Structure 1
Amino acid sequence: MPPSQATTRLCALTRTEKPVTDLIRFVLGPDGVLVPDTEARAEGRGVWITLSHAAVAEAASKKVFARSLKTEVRLPEDLAGLTRLRLEQRFASSLAMARKAGQLATGAGKVKAAIESGELLALITATDAAEDGRNKMAQALRALHYAAEEAGEAAFTVPHLELLSSDQLGLALGLENVIHAALMTGAAARSALDKGLRLTRYNA
């Protein structure tokens, strides 16, 4: 079982204790090569590093993993890049699950309808989206915020995730030319959002 969100671990790089939601775990594979354990489920002793591309790259360059595991460690050529790829794959898979559960809409028209419905959990835009299309969706999102304020409702922020290209989104969802998507309310969508936010933090 993965650790609960309340669990804390020591970052092997900074030597500070942090919640596991702020960290990413690494383990040795059967071949002795270090790999990111993005689900924090792998057997064996793990090394926890702050959830950041820069932190993982620094830990690799300073031989933090070998010191922590007290054994010889073989690192991939670009551990930080591999970690980003694994987080992207995890996010993409979760989007596919959300779509299967009926909690993800694609296409400009359906996404705008999702925004207007008030059931939007997160807005997703491809990283290679045209600027005008990106702006139109952002404007629709802002209009929703303004409407809530004018109605005297509590302020809220809907995350706008730009993490995957249109090709990556299309491959994950089994569709062509995916530029805009909307995560709706539901457990599968919430899981996808959580993974998207982790990837966002890693890229920051």
Structure 2
Amino acid sequence: MTRGGRLKTREQPERRCIATGESAPREGLIRFVLGPDGQVAPDLAERLPGRGAWVTARRDALEKAVRRGLFSRAFKTRAAAAPDLPERVEALLAARLTELIALCRKAGLAVTGFEKVKARLKKGPVAALIEARDGSEQGRAKLRPLAGKAPIVDCLSSRELGLAFGREFVIHAALDEGGLAQSVLRESLRLSGFRTCDDAQDMTTPAQGGKKDG
């Protein structure tokens, strides 16, 4: 997520990352728990019982925690963290964000399609401008100036956004304030720590000759 990525939240309790040693508001970290089988599991909703270990929502931080066995130190017992844990967390975060956007759409808080998004931005402030990370820069350049200071969510692909809106591809969307808007922003912030713009370059996208959202 770019520009204005800090969330509008009340004072939050801080948690210490087991990889970086730094304390930060929990909105930017991911909680992990130890299952009965001794396996480390992500607790994205932060509802699972038991002692939790927190890791900054960045791929390099989680890779370090896995590589150096930091979960065993945090849980004070043997804790098995699978080598592909960062990839699993990324997939879970993407699915969680997609579902949240879908819920916003069902609640009438999200619109998609270049012209509809353009019209919505001209009406006034939005909670976020959503862009497919594999969309064309030309379309982004036309909409971003209209978004003002709104955060830009750009960590999902056009196919992932399509799932949220019941379409094959979605390139542009706008999210209204209210409902789950803050949850969308938090999850996009966490997912951004696991994805870079370079990841999108190998995708087959509407910008490379596929379909466009209407």
Q: TM-score w.r.t. structure 1 length?
A: 0.82
Q: Secondary structure at the match of 1:116?
A: helix
2:40 is equivalent to residue 34 of structure 1: yes
* Distance apart, 1:198 and its partner CA: 2.8
Alignment match, 1:68? 74
CA contact under 8 A between 1:29 and 1:35: conserved in structure 2?
Answer: yes
Larger Rg: 1
Unaligned stretches of 5+ residues in structure 2? 1-9, 197-214
CA distance in 2, matches of 1:189, 1:104: 10
Question: Which residue of structure 1 aligns with residue 173 of structure 2?
Answer: 181
2:94 alignment partner AA: E
- 5+ residue gaps in structure 1? 146-156
Conserved in 2, the CA contact under 8 Å of 1:5 and 1:20? no
Amino acid at match of 1:185: E
Could you report, residue by residue, the CA deviation over 1:93-151 in whole angstroms, capped at 9, with x for unpaired residues? Answer: 1101111110000101110011101141111111121232222222433xxx4xxxxxx
Indicate conservation of the 8 Å contact 1:114/1:184, yes or no: no
Which secondary structure state, in structure 1, belongs to the residue aligned with residue 105 of structure 2? Answer: helix
Identity rate, percent: 41
2:96 maps to 1:104 = no
Q: Secondary structure at the match of 1:47?
A: strand
Which amino acid is 1:198 matched to? R
User: Which amino acid letter does the alignment assign opposite residue 193 of structure 1?
Assistant: L
Task: Please tell me whether residue 137 in structure 1 is matched to residue 143 in structure 2.
Answer: yes
3-state SS in 2 of match to 1:31: coil
Aligned length: 187
2:128 to 115, 122, 136: 122
CA distances 1:51-81 after superposition (whole Å, capped 9, x unpaired): 2211111111110001111222222232222
CA contact (8 A) 1:5 1:21 kept: no
Return the offset for 1:203.
4.1
Select which of 43, 47, 52 maps to 1:46.
Answer: 52
- The 3-state SS of whatever aligns with 2:42 is strand
**What's the CA shift for 1:169?**
0.9
CA distance in 2, matches of 1:18, 1:186: 25
Deviation digits for residues 161-194 of structure 1, max 9, x if unmatched?
1111111111122223211110012122232223
In 2, Cα distance between equivalents of 1:17 and 1:125: 31
Of 111-120 and 17-26, the range deviating more from structure 2: 17-26
1:7 — aligned with what?
13
Distance 1:19 1:189, change over 3 A: closer
> Cα RMSD over matched residues?
2.0
